[in-house]
Amino acid sequence: MLSYDGQDDAGASICIDSDDSMISLLNSIACDELDLANALHAEAEQIRSILRKMKDKKAAFSVKDLVDINRSVEEKMRNIIKDEILLHFKLENAMGLHSKNPSGDQCL
């Protein structure tokens, strides 16, 4: 490894505090969850908007339009569900790492 001054620093070690790394992992998961919640909210708002327009007769939608909208929402929901599953695995892995090293530093 090279240090900032360009000198070879092969013997240096990097220490990572396990609490800080766990906080970073959990923060990452929380941010991803917030993004997914916002995506779900946007899909719900899209559907509400369409229903309001239909109810107020401000817009006419054909059956094909509604089927296309439904397919689009379904595809987005499938992707959100897939992302949720991956986040669940990420959380399980983080918790597993924490249980193996509940406190202390990890030096590389």
The pLDDT, as a whole number, for residue 9 is 61
> What is residue 69's three-state secondary structure?
helix
Non-local CB neighbours of 101 within 8 Å, separated by 6+ positions: 18
What does the longest C-alpha to C-alpha distance in the chain come to? 73
The pLDDT, as a whole number, for residue 103 is 62
Two tokens, residue 83: 């992302």
Instruction: Find the helix packing angle between 18-55 and 63-100, rounded to 10°.
Output: 170
DSSP conformational letter for 104:
S
The pLDDT, as a whole number, for residue 41 is 96
Instruction: List the pLDDT tens digit at each of the 108 positions of the chain.
Output: 445 555 566 666 666 677 888 888 899 999 999 999 999 999 999 999 988 888 888 888 889 988 999 999 999 999 999 999 999 999 999 888 777 766 655 554
Question: Does residue 106 contact residue 16 with C-beta atoms inside 8 Å?
Answer: yes
The pLDDT, as a whole number, for residue 73 is 93
The single residue listed with the structure tokens 């990452």 is 28
The pLDDT, as a whole number, for residue 101 is 67
Alpha carbon 60 to chain centroid distance? 36
Query: Which pTM was predicted?
Result: 0.70
